[in-house]
Chain A
Amino acid sequence: MASKVQTVTRAEAATTLTNEEILRYSRHLIMPEVGMDGQLKLKNAKVLLIGTGGLGAPLGLYLAAAGVGKLGLVDFDVVDFTNLQRQVTFGTSDVGKPKSQAAQARLSNLNPDIQVQAFETKLTSENALELFKDFDIIVDGTDNFPTRYLVNDACILLGKPNVYGSIFRFEGQVTVFGTPGGPCYRCLYPEPPPPGLVPSCAEGGVLGVLPGIVGSIQAMETIKLILGSGDSLAERLLLFDALGMKFREFKLRKNPACPICGDKRTIHKLIDYYEFCGVRGEEAPAPDLHVPEITPREFKARLDRGDDLFVLDVREPHEYQICNLRGHLIPLGELPRRVHELDSSREIVTHCRSGKRSAEAVDFLRKAGFRKILNLKGGILAWSDEVDSSVPKY
């Protein structure tokens, strides 16, 4: 079933291709399924990419290469060294630059004939409707639940399709929400998971090529919507298991009781999505545990003084291999079963990578009766920054 997209008005539509465009897109034009008509549809299409990261990279590259006439790129972040493992729009020389601008430069170089507009801004309930209104299709390449619900709701309120993709480690999901009569994100997931119940991004990791595959599928679905070709993923959820190399498909139904796209809409405007997702403030995913702490410098000073400290490392074995402080390794998940390995009469300094998991360990151990226990503030990352830069950060 092909879902068509209403593009620009007749007065604005491009009706011709230059000789250069005809040559650039010749491999499209020689296919009867695309031809001049199809390429003109692409030229007249306006697509907004939310996020220019792992999913946004193949999306931007393939939509620019295909000749989508106007691409908007929304991202407030800057390129980080750890992004280069998967965000292939960027190069090493882009580290430190705003992502939307670096992506704009890359895509404009790939295809100078299209318009690429960078929006170096955080998508919020205050700006989403205004940002979305001038585009035909929105593509969701974001990385957090509040923004996914925001993108969904804005698309439904404006009547625009939302090409959705998400990933976790080795798995990806793709579908198209917001088509006429089709379901929306809330139909699939009425509520997000509360913070802390699913592994966080930092703990999850991802094979870099996975968003490359999932984002490319999103690009394909976007192009199909523009052309009105093929069977869209609307009303189907495609699940991709990269390790098993299996694609599975699940039927998606519109929920008649959906509060935003159902028969009786109760949501008529954008809401506070962080509140909806139970996230306090924009940055903090969960309330901080109040546990006794020691800074890396204090820890170093005490070690140099010869204090008898037992170092407990609650990371995973593969992290210990990357770098360690020669601590006793008990992964956080195993701590309840292995607490007998610890001597509560000794003073224990607990650490992990960033200080979050070790705070949970200290909290658990204090509740188990341990009194001489401290959390290394900032974890091994802070140790590398403040005490010993030869310890690699990851």
Chain B
Amino acid sequence: MTVRVMIPTPLRVYAGKRDSAEFRAGTVGEALAQLTGEFDDLRRHLFTDEGTLRSFVNVYVNGEDIRYLSKEETPTKDGDTISIIPSIAGGSCC
């Protein structure tokens, strides 16, 4: 199952400036593990030291929040898009 992981702007600096990456993965968890395996600097921005997904980072599969699916066990199929949406606060400054 080839899935595409979209990397948001604030995290691209930790992923070699890539805006997306493709992996063969059967679940969201597998895709994210491969992502942080390839880009080690991303790990601390996505996961706590205990390995849980950070609460200010949301992950979607094709527009649906994985918290309301099966979280990291959410199955993925060919052509699915996984989006990482971190919390951003800019508005007045930046």
Interface residues of A, Cβ cutoff 8 Å to B: 51-56, 75, 77, 87, 140-145, 148, 165-171, 173, 188-193, 197-199, 201, 204-206, 211, 237, 239, 241, 244, 248-253, 333
Contacts and interface: CB of A to CB of B under 8 A. Distances in A.
30 contacts: A51-B92, A52-B92, A53-B92, A53-B93, A55-B92, A75-B92, A141-B91, A141-B92, A142-B89, A142-B92, A143-B92, A166-B88, A166-B90, A167-B88, A167-B94, A169-B10, A169-B94, A170-B9, A171-B10, A173-B85, A189-B56, A193-B87, A197-B44, A201-B93, A206-B94, A237-B85, A250-B58, A250-B63, A251-B60, A253-B68
B55 A190 contact: yes
5 tightest A-B CB contacts, nearest first = A53-B92, A143-B92, A206-B94, A168-B88, A171-B9
A148 to B, nearest CB: 6
A173 B55 contact: no
Contacts of B92: 51-56, 75, 77, 87, 141-143
Interface in B56-91: 56, 58, 60, 63-65, 68, 83, 85-91
Contacts of A77: 92
Contacts of A168: 9-10, 88-90, 94
Nearest to A146: B89
Given A189-B58, A192-B56, A237-B85, A198 B94 contact: no
Contacts, number: 117
B13 to A, nearest CB: 7
A143 B55 contact: no
Contacts of B86: 193, 198
B45 A201 contact: no
Nearest to A189: B87
Nearest to B55: A191
B55 to A, nearest CB: 4
Contact of B94 (A143, A188, A190): A143
B19 interface: yes
Nearest to B56: A193
B9 A169 contact: yes
Nearest to A140: B91
Contacts of A201: 90, 93-94
Most buried by A among B45, B58, B65: B65
A355 B38 CA distance: 32
Contact of B91 (A142, A199, A249, A250): A142
Contact of B19 (A198, A237, A244): A244
A208 to B, nearest CB: 10
A241 B63 CA distance: 15
B59 to A, nearest CB: 10
B89 A248 contact: no
A239 B13 CA distance: 19
A95 to B, nearest CB: 16
Contacts of A75: 92
